[in-house]
Amino acid sequence: MIDTLAVVGATGAVGRIIVTMLLERQFPAKRIKLLASARSAGKPFEVAGRSLAVEELTPESFADVDIAIGSTPDEVAAEFVPWAVERGTVVVDESAFYRMDPDVPLVIPEVNPEALAAHKGIIASPNCSTTQMVMVMKPLHDAARVKRVIVSTYQAVSGAGLPATQELEQGAAAWLAGHAPKPAIFPHPIAANLIPQIGSPRPNGFTSEEMKMVLETRKILGDESIAVSATCVRVPVANGHSESILIETEKKLSADEARRLLAGFPGIVVTDDLGAKRYPMPRDASGRDEVFVGRIREDISCPNGIALWCVSDNLRKGAATNAVQIAEHLARHWTGRPGGAKAGGRPVQA
């Protein structure tokens, strides 16, 4: 058991889920400290039927913190993570800021827990869309080595925050009433629409979200030769990301072999009966920690291809659950505070 765990960004959508999970799973810490911006500190914070205190995030907040889970924008992570590491805190960071830093492990506990041993005070949790895809890739990669992946994502508005969810609700009401929805969070109306851009443009014509899936996948699986092509689309779904994936392997796998490998992998649930109209959908995944897989079939365009569909709650396994699992692993193997290790090198942005 550790003495103190801190949640940075505790009052946000993902932060609230993290706090709830820590309480529900009885995280092995004597104390849980909640940290947020000055505007949120001191205000009543109700979660899991309990009223908890929220403190202002400052450099001295980490003086007595063993492990911190950060759920903040990149610019906040860039500021607070060095504060924490300099004071001997191990940080599990949800932001994208440190993910491609070569000194920072990028971890999905079911996939590459061995990477945790190399941390220098910072551990990064991957992008939500990357996480569910790599969960699906891992058992197939171990059995037959993945050579190439083509993925199209159908990403829920919750991935853009609570205001984005409210924009979908308000826009849907306006559209149903015959009015033109007015976007504020998204560049175009999201109600009754699809937006084929998530993130900023990159020089190669892809977006930052798409390049995260490319670069993070290779880092997590430790294989720079894996070819990944991603198209990321925002869809008018409240919660739960979906992905259509074609996975090409070096060794041929039958659909039955792929189904068996996936069903036996921790954290994956196979729901696959097309005749009975049984396959994963965002409604089924919302509020769950697993990655759900269906529509598993041998591809007809390449000899060693497996096509499938996967769905996951992007706020849970795509964010909160993965970070809590990393923190639980650290707590189980806790040997004491690292004693002020400095933050890793300059992050490489995708």
For the chain, what is the total number of helices (H) and then of strands (E)?
8, 14
Kindly report the average pLDDT of the chain as a whole number.
94
Residue with tokens 């829920």: 156
Cβ-based burial of 120 (10 A; exposed 0-12, middle 13-18, buried ≥19) = middle
The pLDDT tens digits for 168-180 are: 999 999 999 999 9
What mean pLDDT do residues 309-332 have?
97
Q: Which residue has the higher pLDDT, 38 or 337?
A: 38
For residue 345, the 8-state DSSP code is S
Q: Tokens for 320?
A: 């909160």
Pick the catalytic residue from 119, 128, 141, 310: 128
Pick the catalytic residue from 141, 232, 241, 310: 241
What mean pLDDT do residues 289-311 have?
97
pLDDT at 335: 81
Which of helix, strand or coil describes residue 162? Answer: helix
Contact 2, 66 (CB under 8 A): yes
What is the percentage of the chain residues whose pLDDT exceeds 70?
96
Enumerate domains of the chain plus CATH numbers.
2-125+318-332 (3.40.50.720), 129-156+194-314 (3.30.360.10)
Q: Is the pLDDT of residue 284 over 50?
A: yes
List, in order, residues 6 or more apart from 281 with CB less than 8 Å away: 240, 242, 311
What mean pLDDT do residues 42-61 have?
89
The pLDDT tens digits for 210-254 are: 999 999 999 999 999 999 999 999 999 999 999 999 999 999 999
Q: Label residue 260 by pLDDT band (50, 70, 90).
A: very high
241 flagged as catalytic:
yes
The pLDDT tens digits for 103-156 are: 999 999 999 999 999 999 999 999 999 999 999 999 999 999 999 999 999 999
pLDDT at 338: 67
